[in-house]
Amino acid sequence: MSESRPAVVSLRGVTKSFGAGGVTALQSIDLEVRPGEFVSLIGPSGCGKSTLLRIVGDLVEPTAGEVVVNGKSARQARLDGDYGIVFQDAVLYDWRTVARNISLPLELLGWDRARRAQRVRELLDLVELRGFENHHPWQLSGGMQQRVAIARALSFSPALLLMDEPFGALDEMTRERMNAELLRIWERSGSTVVFVTHSISEAVFLSTRVVVMSRRPGRIAAIVDIDLPQPRTADTREEPRFFELVTEVRDRLREGGLDEDRTAPDEGELVGEEAP
């Protein structure tokens, strides 16, 4: 991808501790995400990957370090609407139709009705939900709700898309399908994606690079380049190279995830990790 253009996200020495007791969630993270990349963050529970995502989105403040998003401070990037975010929970408004849910950020940006309607139509095509404009969230399946959430995140064409385990609540089949759809959407929209996940195969399938994080305090244990050809399809999952990469990621995880004597799994994600 283009090495000459400046990084979309640039993290230097980012550290995050919580509370006076000083639980360190992230330790000295250095990372650059280039335009057009699809970067996954993967690691054991509690390694701070969600926290890192939120730091990029200026939803959590780092204790130390520098965060540059789209050439600006994280805060400015947020104020300028440079990124869209998708959570594991679709967080749709029950009282709005699908179309109005998607247009919410556009309303906040002050777009006029005609322009909003036009954009919503485009997005519905993009996520293949034409015909569901006037449905309400509770009438949709989990996968469909997430598609609405993705459409909403992309509504104002941000340079960056942040995704926090968006398919974590879906079943395996739907998940794989959504993965394929996400890649298609990524291709068409041209945005850069930072994607947090628990699933090794998902990370390898989707990404151009996989960032493996160690257990708490989270550090970058390894970065694995995924050299699988684009566009990726269901067949890609069958290729030998795919399995090799999955194994490599798994090995890196193991290295970073296990302490000398510890074999027990980590405790769950830090409570209070999200911004108050």
Partner 1 sequence: MTIAASAAGARGALGRGRLRNAAERAGLFLAVLAVLWGLWEGFRAFGEAVDLRAGQFVVNDRTMPHLHDIVAQLFEPSRRNGPLLIGVLWDAALFTAKEAAAGFLLGALFGLALGTALAHSGLLQRGFVPYIVASQTVPILAVAPMVVVWVNPRLPPGLRDWGAVAVISAYLTFFPVTINTIRGLTSVDPRALELMRSYAAGAWAVLWKLRFPAALPFIFAALKIAAPASVVGAIIGELPASIQAGLGGAILNFNQYYITSPPSLWATNLVAALLGISFFLAVLLAERLVVRRAPEHVG
For residue 142, the tally of other CB atoms under 10 A from its CB is 15
* Cβ-based nearer residue to partner 1, 58 or 248: 58
d(CA 272, CA 19): 10
* Cβ-based nearer residue to partner 1, 14 or 77: 77
Residue 143 makes contact with partner 1 by CB under 8 A? no
Residue 83 makes contact with partner 1 by CB under 8 A? yes
Residue 222 makes contact with partner 1 by CB under 8 A? no
Residue 272 makes contact with partner 1 by CB under 8 A? no
Residue 44 makes contact with partner 1 by CB under 8 A? no
Among 1, 64, 79, 223, interactor with partner 1 by CB under 8 A = 79
Q: Which among 27-35, 87-95, 111-119, 261-269 is the span making contact with partner 1, rule CB under 8 A? A: 87-95
Residue 59 makes contact with partner 1 by CB under 8 A? yes
Question: What binding mask, one character per residue, do residues 186-215 give for partner 1 by CB under 8 A, x or -?
Answer: ------------------------------
42, 215 contact by CB (below 8 A): no
* Cβ-based nearer residue to partner 1, 170 or 212: 170
d(CA 181, CA 183): 5
All residues at 6 or more sequence positions from 187 whose CB lies less than 8 Å from its CB, including other chains: 230, 231
Residue 225 makes contact with partner 1 by CB under 8 A? no
Residue 168 makes contact with partner 1 by CB under 8 A? no
Q: Are strands 192-197 and 209-213 parallel, antiparallel or unpaired?
A: unpaired
Residue 145 makes contact with partner 1 by CB under 8 A? yes
Residue 48 makes contact with partner 1 by CB under 8 A? no
From 70, 49, 40, select the one nearest 183 (Cα to Cα).
Answer: 40
* Cβ-based nearer residue to partner 1, 134 or 233: 134
* Cβ-based nearer residue to partner 1, 79 or 223: 79
* Cβ-based nearer residue to partner 1, 95 or 229: 95
Torsion from C-alpha of 139, 140, 141, 147, nearest 10 degrees: -160
d(CA 227, CA 208): 7
* Cβ-based nearer residue to partner 1, 46 or 105: 105
Residue 91 makes contact with partner 1 by CB under 8 A? yes
Residue 95 makes contact with partner 1 by CB under 8 A? yes
Residue 90 makes contact with partner 1 by CB under 8 A? yes
Residue 65 makes contact with partner 1 by CB under 8 A? no
The footprint of partner 1 (CB under 8 A) covers 54, 57-59, 78-81, 83-85, 87, 89-95, 104-105, 107-109, 136-138, 142, 145, 169, 274-275
